[in-house]
Amino acid sequence: MKQLISIRHHLIVRLFAMLYITLCFTSCKKDETVDTSAPLISAVTTTTDRTTSITSGALSAWVEIKGSHLASAQKVYFNNLPVASTDFYATDSTVTVQIPAAIADSVTGKVSVITKYGQADFAFTVQIPAPIISSFDPGTGDAGATVTITGNWFQNLQSVKIGTLEATIVASTDTTIQITVPTSIVPGYIYVTTATGGTTKSANAFGFSYMLYDDAANASWWFGNWSSDMTLGSAEQAKRGSNSIKVQYTGGYGGFQCASTLDVTSYQGIKVSIYGGSGTRGMQVKLYINGVSGTGVLLALSEGAWTDYTIPFSQLGSPSSLTNITIQEFSNNNSLIYIDDLGLF
């Protein structure tokens, strides 16, 4: 009899325990409410200052999107460019996200968050860099010649111009552009325009209108030097062709110069390429005209490499005539340099 009572007691205890668990589980289920509201975006901030709203951000920057109903975020877009799932984290009120490093094909000017229950858009500008022109080669050429432009941010390329003339784009990548020189070419700066980054002007001009030295000296000009040794037709280095002007400075502030008389009202400036010999790292030369050192321009040398320089006449006193060009050593060093492609554009 006692055994029967004990069994009944255990059964009753188990029954009440199961009933209690069922009631607790049901209560918890009732407390869990699923947020099915459409997402809302109220602001975007940086991750270091979460109180100040921003309207734009750089490529690869981390930002915080503020709003509500964001916890179920599945996708985030900047300019219709998707963010990798590993590059954003969502809560109900924020989405911490990294702006993609890539450049979108088109600019929408908005950031979008897509959740299970809708999409929210918010005005936001991705700061897309302007194209960068690092160099172009060759530095001069006739109509129809191929020129390769090297740099960065050439995505969504729209046009390339030499001066005001539009060049034909043969091929392009994010970092290189190949063009053909247009007919009726006039020397000038190269302009690269992209749909997303705007227009950039090259540091150096393309082409020459008047040559003083391109593989041989212009016979109309006198070439001389002081505190230096000069070889007009050195085959040791050449920017183009076979020869250059070798100048071995033998005393600090020695010089090279060429002289004549030329009306330069129809020219924009001077172009020259200089190769820095051994020991010229960090050294400088100064280019000035008409014997006026005060309006000259310092040129930093690159040891073991050619560097192209473009000096507008506006930086040289805006002369109407040119009587001489001087390239003077300006680091009190016995530097060795080679000069090529010296002319006007």
Query: Can you tell me the distance from the alpha carbon of 211 to that of 203, in angstroms, rounded to the nearest whole number?
Result: 20
Same domain for 234 and 122: no
- Does 232 reside within a domain? yes
Query: Can you tell me the distance from the alpha carbon of 337 to that of 280, in angstroms, rounded to the nearest whole number?
Result: 8
- Does 4 reside within a domain? no
Same domain for 309 and 188: no
Phi, psi of 25 (to 5 degrees): -65, -45
Mean pLDDT of 126-148: 96
Final residue of a domain: which of 82, 102, 127? 127
Same domain for 162 and 116: no
Mean pLDDT of 218-241: 97
Final residue of a domain: which of 127, 152, 175? 127
Write out the two tokens for 189: 């700066």
What CA–CA distances, in Å, run from 282 to 28, 204, 276?
Answer: 74, 21, 10
Q: Dihedral, CA atoms, 293, 296, 302, 305, nearest 10 degrees?
A: -100
Residues 6+ apart with CB under 8 A from 301: 274, 276, 280, 281, 282, 283, 284, 285, 307, 335, 337
User: What one-character DSSP code corresponds to residue 184?
Assistant: T
Query: Can you tell me the distance from the alpha carbon of 84 to that of 341, in angstroms, rounded to the nearest whole number?
Result: 49
- Report the CATH number at residue 49: 2.60.40.10
Number of domains the chain is built from: 3
Predicted confidence (pLDDT) at residue 96 exceeds the cutoff of 50: yes
Share of the chain above pLDDT 90, in %: 88
The answer to whether 160 and 154 have CB atoms below 8 angstroms apart is no
Predicted confidence (pLDDT) at residue 2 exceeds the cutoff of 70: no
Same domain for 188 and 253: no
User: Strand pairing of 56-58 and 125-127?
Assistant: parallel
User: Strand pairing of 176-180 and 222-226?
Assistant: unpaired
- In this prediction, residue 34 carries a pLDDT of 84
- Does 51 reside within a domain? yes
User: What one-character DSSP code corresponds to residue 217?
Assistant: B
- Does 290 reside within a domain? yes
- Does 32 reside within a domain? no
Mean pLDDT of 276-281: 97
Same domain for 154 and 99: no
- In this prediction, residue 29 carries a pLDDT of 46
Residues 6+ apart with CB under 8 A from 33: none
Query: H/E/C letters for each residue in 136-180?
Result: EECCCCCCCCEEEEEEECCCCEEEEEECCEECEEEEECCCEEEEE
Q: Give the residue numbers spanning the domain of 275.
A: 210-344
- Does 234 reside within a domain? yes
Same domain for 215 and 335: yes
- In this prediction, residue 15 carries a pLDDT of 47
- Report the CATH number at residue 305: 2.60.120.260
Predicted confidence (pLDDT) at residue 28 exceeds the cutoff of 60: no
Query: Can you tell me the distance from the alpha carbon of 249 to that of 227, in angstroms, rounded to the nearest whole number?
Result: 6
User: Strand pairing of 336-344 and 132-137?
Assistant: unpaired
- In this prediction, residue 13 carries a pLDDT of 46
Predicted confidence (pLDDT) at residue 24 exceeds the cutoff of 50: no
Query: Can you tell me the distance from the alpha carbon of 48 to that of 130, in angstroms, rounded to the nearest whole number?
Result: 26
- In this prediction, residue 171 carries a pLDDT of 98
Mean pLDDT of 72-101: 97
- In this prediction, residue 14 carries a pLDDT of 55
Read off the pLDDT band of 16 (50, 70, 90): low
Query: Can you tell me the distance from the alpha carbon of 149 to that of 134, in angstroms, rounded to the nearest whole number?
Result: 8
Q: Lowest-confidence range among 19-28, 199-208, 263-272? A: 19-28
Predicted confidence (pLDDT) at residue 41 exceeds the cutoff of 90: yes
Predicted confidence (pLDDT) at residue 47 exceeds the cutoff of 60: yes
Same domain for 274 and 259: yes
- In this prediction, residue 25 carries a pLDDT of 44
Same domain for 263 and 179: no
Question: pTM score, two decimals?
Answer: 0.78
Same domain for 255 and 327: yes
- Does 8 reside within a domain? no
- In this prediction, residue 294 carries a pLDDT of 95
Same domain for 324 and 249: yes
Read off the pLDDT band of 262 (50, 70, 90): very high
Predicted confidence (pLDDT) at residue 280 exceeds the cutoff of 60: yes
Final residue of a domain: which of 206, 235, 264? 206
- Does 184 reside within a domain? yes
- In this prediction, residue 33 carries a pLDDT of 78
Same domain for 245 and 147: no
Query: Can you tell me the distance from the alpha carbon of 171 to that of 129, in angstroms, rounded to the nearest whole number?
Result: 21
Omega prior to 138 cis, within 30 of 0: yes
Predicted confidence (pLDDT) at residue 9 exceeds the cutoff of 60: no
User: Pick from 321, 337, 300, 322: which is nearest to 225 by CA?
Assistant: 337
- In this prediction, residue 105 carries a pLDDT of 86
- pLDDT 10s digits, 293-334: 999 999 999 999 999 999 999 999 999 999 999 999 999 999
Read off the pLDDT band of 36 (50, 70, 90): very high
Same domain for 215 and 97: no
Write out the two tokens for 256: 């090279």
**Per-chain mean pLDDT for the chain:** 92
Output the DSSP codes for 56-123: EEETT-EEEEEEES-TT--EEEETTEEPPGGGEEE-SSEEEEEPPSSPPSS---EEEEEETTEEEEEE
Read off the pLDDT band of 252 (50, 70, 90): confident
